[in-house]
């Protein structure tokens, strides 16, 4: 029996940056230039008074690569702080998705039922379609999308992962 080589573990990395022009391009360029993966990336200003943004990146790699990614991010001049949320203790990850399902009849009813189980809300509705809003970790969002597939899944829009460490300590 041949075993598949284990995929590199996923890491969620939070980067606190000075909100100057081009800072996102620097981070993205670093990943593409050095051949690191980006599975998901979110960015938004999180502190308007001090002009700071937070970038959450989901990436994968062995320990040496993840350490490199962290060190390379820390090298960027406008970076305040880098935290590997996967490595540094328990954390919470959430993603929000807007999912359009085009269905009538039995499928329409089934879609609503599944949405209820997933605590997804219908945020738009026509006689032939819904837009659901679902929040949760990525696996929950994936599961919801998988279930909608046979029921008339038409379009998906996802935020990508936002994450934060549990407990009292702030980044």
Partner 1 sequence: MSGTEQNLGQASDRNEAAETMSGAEILIRALTDQGVEVIFGYPGGAVLPIYDALFAQNNIRHILVRQEGGAVHAAEGYARSTGKPGVVLVTSGPGATNAVTGLTDAMMDSIPIVCLTGQVASHLIGNDAFQEADTIGITRPCTKHNYLVKDTDEMGRIVHEAFYVATQGRPGPVVIDLPKDICVNQGHYEKPDLDNLQHKTYRPPTTGKPDQVAEAVKWMAGAKRPIFYTGGGLINSGPEACAKLRELVKLTGYPITSTLMGLGAYPASDQQFLGMLGMHGTYEANNAMHDCDVMICLGARFDDRITGRLDAFSPNSKKIHVDVDPSSINKNISIDLGIIGDVGQVIEQMLAAWKQAGHQPDAAASTEWWTTIQKWRSRDCLAFDQGKDVILPQHAIQRLYELTKERDTYITTEVGQHQMWAAQFYKFEEPNRWMTSGGLGTMGYGLPAAVGVQIAHPESLVVDISGEASFMMNMQEIATAAQYRLPLKVFILNNRWMGMVRQWQELLHGSRYSETYSEALPDFVKLAECFGATGMAMRDPATLDDDILKMLDTDGLVIADVQVAQEENCFPMVPSGAAHNEMIMAGNKDAESPKVTGDGMALV
CB-CB neighbours of 71 under 10 Å: 10
Which residue, 30 or 122, has its beta carbon nearer to partner 1?
30
Largest distance between two CA atoms of the chain:
59
Entry field: residues in the chain = 171
Three-class SS of residue 51? coil
Which member of 9, 29, 89, 150 binds partner 1 (CB under 8 A)?
Answer: 29
Residue count, binding to partner 1 (CB under 8 A): 19
- Of 24, 31, 80, 143, the residue at the interface with partner 1 (CB under 8 A) is 80
Instruction: Note whether 8 binds partner 1 by CB under 8 A.
Output: no
Q: Does 78 bind partner 1 (CB under 8 A)?
A: yes
3-state class of 56 per DSSP?
strand
Binding positions for partner 1, 53-72, rule CB under 8 A: 64, 67-68, 71-72
Contact flag: residue 90 with partner 1 (CB under 8 A): no
Q: Alpha helix locations (H) across 12-137? A: 23-33, 63-75, 105-117
């Amino acid at each position: 029996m041949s075993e598949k080589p284990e995929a590199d573990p996923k890491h969620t990395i939070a980067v606190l940056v000075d909100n100057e022009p081009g800072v996102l391009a620097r981070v993205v360029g670093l990943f593409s230039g050095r051949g690191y993966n980006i599975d998901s990336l979110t960015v938004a200003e999180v502190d308007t008074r001090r002009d700071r943004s937070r970038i959450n990146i989901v990436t994968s790699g062995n320990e040496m690569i993840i350490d490199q990614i962290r060190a390379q991010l820390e090298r960027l001049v406008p970076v305040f702080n880098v935290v590997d949320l996967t490595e540094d203790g328990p954390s919470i990850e959430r993603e929000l998705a807007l999912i359009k399902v085009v269905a009538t009849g039995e499928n329409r009813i089934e879609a609503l039922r599944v949405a209820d189980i997933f605590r997804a809300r219908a945020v738009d509705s026509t006689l032939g379609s819904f837009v659901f809003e679902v929040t949760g970790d990525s696996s929950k969002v994936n599961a919801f999308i998988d279930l909608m597939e046979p029921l008339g899944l038409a379009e998906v829009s996802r935020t990508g992962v936002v994450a934060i460490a549990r407990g009292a300590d702030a980044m």
